[in-house]
Amino acid sequence: YKMTEERELIDSVKVAYDAGYRLFDTAQMYGNEAAVGKAIKELSVPRNEIFVTTKVAEANQGYDKVIASVEESLKKLQLDYVDLLLVHWPIHQHFFETWKAFEALKEQGLTKSIGTSNYGMVHLEYLATKANEMPVLNQLEVHPYLSQEAMINFDRKNHIVTQAWAPLGRGRIFEDPAILKIAKHHGKSAAQIILRWHLQRGDSFIPKSVHPERIKQNAD
């Protein structure tokens, strides 16, 4: 997200892979699927060693548009399939058609798994009335200032993994006195304390950075 400089993105993916990262998350809306594709190609590793997620933008929702846009995303990514395909945001128009297309893409093998992003309880309950299969994962904004416990419990009860986007919150969270106190006590950075909080809660999370040292620090 917000990575637009191609070389910087490619270098970030390489550093991340070397640091042990295996999941790479992109989206049509980010405008960088082609750069992610180049980065993956440059890694030159077996396809089953990495996990790639992309998301369908609001403008591409609706059955035919979803199918066409995912085929385009795969071309940009230079992949035969993605591991996880998400609906980026819920929109009322095309709500069920979009999901029907997702189920078809999974059946065709163009994605291994299907999920949602930014879906609340009402969206997931509504989806359940017509879906043949439910999302395996729901991506939400989750961090210590937005713990999302009710949604996480709801997802868990419905066998849906919650994955935190923006797991490090916004900049001000790094200055939080409680977090800084814990960080000092453990000899860690504020970011490391926040990610450890996610880990101990059982959240899946996807931290983002373009700085090699921070990428390594986050993995640690």
Query: What CA–CA distance (Å, rounded) separates 152 from 102?
Result: 23
Return the active site residues.
Answer: 30
> Could you count the other beta carbons within 10 Å of the beta carbon of residue 81?
17
- The amino acid at residue 94 is H
Q: Which helix (H) or strand (E) holds 18?
A: helix 6-18
* 147 Cβ contact list (under 8 Å, min separation 6): none
Take residue 157 and report the two structure tokens written for it: 């009860």
Take residue 117 and report the two structure tokens written for it: 């992003």
Give the bridge partners for 23, in sequence order. 51
Specify the residue for token string 């000899």: 187
